[in-house]
Amino acid sequence: MVLFLQLYVGHLLGDFVFQPGRLVLAKRRGAGGLVLHTLVVVACTALVMLGSLRTQWPAVLIAGIAHAGIEPLTIRARNHTEASGLSLLLLDQALHVVSLVLVALVLRTPDRSILVIWDVTPGSLAAIAGVGTVAFFGSILAFETRMVAGAPLQAVIGLDARRVYGMAERSLALGVALISPLPALGLLAFGPRVVYALAGSERRRASALLDVAVGMVLCVLVWGLLALFVRMTGATGP
């Protein structure tokens, strides 16, 4: 599980944090963009596992190769099917996560739970992965959900105020849920956006409340997975 979490945090960094819109478009247009994206993912994963890279480099390499093999499949599906961006996003991430699970199952688990060069508890590593999921994956999930719901079509999401606020909102919600004796208090983080939505026009209200719904569902789901992880492994929380 530790190896999977390390690989997954590297994946989050490479696939969301350090994949700007221009790189998304470049990888869809040709091999050069795909190679660059894969190198970014490998570099991010290597950074996350820097302290154990001397023994864990095969996991980084195999995860990178798997990532490079999955990307053309979802790019081809995007170009040759009528599937929605939301469906393709979920398919793409499901394939990536399954590939990381397989790598973690096949290769030796590292002796230390490490993030870059710092020893952390498995519970803390899982919490970091969870917050990264709701913050960064959540932005793309909300964007693609809005596209399905009829928002004006965009090729890729930009780093605008709405995206930054959403990342902070979901991170706060999950963070409070993880440290509070009453996890449901985390949902209060969505309160300001609900007030903003109800005070605005009907169009703004629908769009903002959709973002709230996506954020809440994702945070509850990730919190549930983290709680299950702690229960199954006996890991201490963050």
Report the predicted TM-score, pTM, of the whole model to 2 decimal places: 0.93
Alpha helices (runs of H) in the chain, residue ranges in sequence order = 2-12, 21-29, 31-48, 53-80, 85-106, 122-132, 138-148, 161-179, 191-198, 202-233
How do residues 165-203 score in pLDDT, each as one tens digit?
A: 999 999 999 999 999 999 999 999 999 999 988 887 777
pLDDT in tens, 84-125: 999 999 999 999 999 999 999 998 777 778 899 898 999 999
Gap between the Cα atoms of 96 and 168, Å rounded: 25
**What pLDDT sits at residue 236?**
65
Give the model confidence (pLDDT) of 124-155 as tens digits: 999 999 999 999 999 999 999 999 988 777 87
Give 82-88's long-range contacts (Cβ < 8 A, gap of 24+): 84/144, 84/147, 84/148, 85/144, 85/147, 85/148, 86/141, 86/144, 86/145, 86/147, 86/148
If DSSP codes are grouped into helix, strand and coil, which group holds residue 188? helix
Tell me the domain boundaries of the chain: 1-120, 121-238
Q: How confident is the model at residue 237 (pLDDT cuts 50, 70, 90)?
A: low
